């Protein structure tokens, strides 16, 4: 479940499918435009990370899409 705090986005994902090495995290603005894309390594079937956004995003509402192998969460 992603959570945003200032210039950081906390991402936690458990039970990533066996064999999945990386997870793609895409952030979309309210108009559906992708404004950020990251690829993050999975360790032991789990993902716990903090994305430093460094002022990339203006204040507003965003959708976060996480793709891990064949599984996608929004």
Q: Can you give the pTM of this predicted structure?
A: 0.82
Rounded to the nearest 5 percent, the helix, strand and coil shares of the chain are: 0, 55, 45
Backbone angles phi, psi at 29, to 5 degrees: -80, 180
Q: What is the pLDDT of residues 13-72, one digit of tens each?
A: 888 888 999 999 999 999 999 999 999 999 888 889 999 888 888 888 999 999 998 888
Beta bridge partners of 51: 9
Give the domain range for residue 44.
3-73
Q: pLDDT tier at 5 (50, 70, 90 boundaries)? A: low
Reported as type and span, the H/E element at residue 10 is strand 8-13
Q: What is the pLDDT of residues 64-74, one digit of tens each?
A: 999 998 888 88
pLDDT given for residue 34 in this prediction: 97
- The number of distinct structural domains making up the chain is 1
Q: What CATH number is associated with residue 28?
A: 2.60.40.10
CA gap 28, 26 in Å, rounded: 7
Instruction: Please say if the pLDDT value at position 4 is more than 60.
Output: no
């Amino acid at each position: 479940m992603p959570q945003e705090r200032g210039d950081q986005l906390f991402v936690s994902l458990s039970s990533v499918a066996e064999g999945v090495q990386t997870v793609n995290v895409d952030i979309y603005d309210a108009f559906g435009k992708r404004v950020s894309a990251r690829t993050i390594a999975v360790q032991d079937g789990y993902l716990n990370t903090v994305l430093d956004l460094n002022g990339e995003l203006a204040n507003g509402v965003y959708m976060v899409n996480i793709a891990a192998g064949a599984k996608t969460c929004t």
